Structure 1
Amino acid sequence: MKFSARDIILGAMFASLAVVAALLLRFLGSAIVPFSLVPFVALLAGAMLGGRLGAMSILVYVLMGLLGLPVFEKPPYGGPAYVLQPTFGFLLGFILAAYVTGKLIPAGGDAGLFRYIAASLAGVAVYYLVGLPYLYLILNLYLGKALSAMAVIKIGFIPFVGADIVKAALASGLARAVARRLRAV
């Protein structure tokens, strides 16, 4: 894969934005699955940068955390052991969500708002499809919590899906507005 200097800068900007999004809400509590703005950034990265570069920017964010930089929202905030955190599957899902969102929007951003929203909602579905099974496996197999699938849905889906739909709509509106503005220039 070849990336231009512009691609590298844009990817780094979105990786940095993901760090800021995680740090903003770090001190709000210690829920198993915390409220986060990182999904908004992942959807926005996919919608604005396209699938490949959007996914790469979120991958860089995740790799920074796995290398030990304290960029994640929950303790231990980074390091390779973070893969054993119940929410790590959502981080993997954000990478795929950025990719899917970007792939469903035509290059150049020449699409209607409905297309942007549909692409972002597909991204939301993707990170839940990755994150919820991972949450279930870590809670049950690693932490020994013996939770049912319905209990995991009550912990990791029901409290967040409404806000995630709003994040998808906001990311879609912002990405489309920026794309339209850039085409006008």
Structure 2
Amino acid sequence: MTVLLLDDRWPSLIPLEAHGRLGGPVEFTEEVPVRVRWNFSDLVAAEGPGVLVSTNGSDPRVVSRIHAGEPLIVAESRQDPVRQAVQVMARACTVGEWEATQTHRSLLPYLAEESQEFADQVVAWERDGDERALLGELGDVLLQVLFHAEIAARRGAFDFGEVARSFVDKLRSRSPYLFDGTRAVVPAEEQERLWAMGKAREKKLPPGR
């Protein structure tokens, strides 16, 4: 039986390499959306060893079949380091006692500490050019963003994807030249003017918009 691991963010995107390689009875792990299951009637040949479709690489059925050496097809987007970072953070808050007890407020000292360490590393980088050290400190700052987003996600407020979307939405409002096909360099004065206009416009929106 072939194991097909899809990306839980975009489960409808079937890897090209799966086409023509799937045949026989199709099984799904429980989290696979119904809308995705409908797609497989036209993708899977009637004859073949069977297919197990999942978005959960930790599902016992998936793990056992992979360990048994059965063919595995994985959506490339599952290797996205951003996705992996979000998953690792979620895992940490699930199995780590310390992480599970943290709040936005309790993490503030760590955010301040990591931000200062990054600032210090920037100064050091200007002197020694140590890119790896700069990368590491920036990763520590990202950890704080991931942590706060995971805490929010667990109370149903927002997740890391929505944090990223809010960033894009803000730039769409305050830096429209990034989205309208502008090719020429935008003067700093024009950037500042558009930023101020966007910010003022946002303040007039109802809360939550």
Question: TM-score normalised by the shorter chain: which range applies?
Answer: under 0.3
Q: TM-score, normalised by structure 1?
A: 0.28
Greater share of helix residues, 1 or 2?
1
Q: TM-score, normalised by structure 2?
A: 0.25
Task: Identify which of structures 1 and 2 has the higher relative contact order when contacts are C-alpha pairs closer than 8 Å and 6+ apart.
Answer: 1
Report the structure number with the largest CA radius of gyration. 2
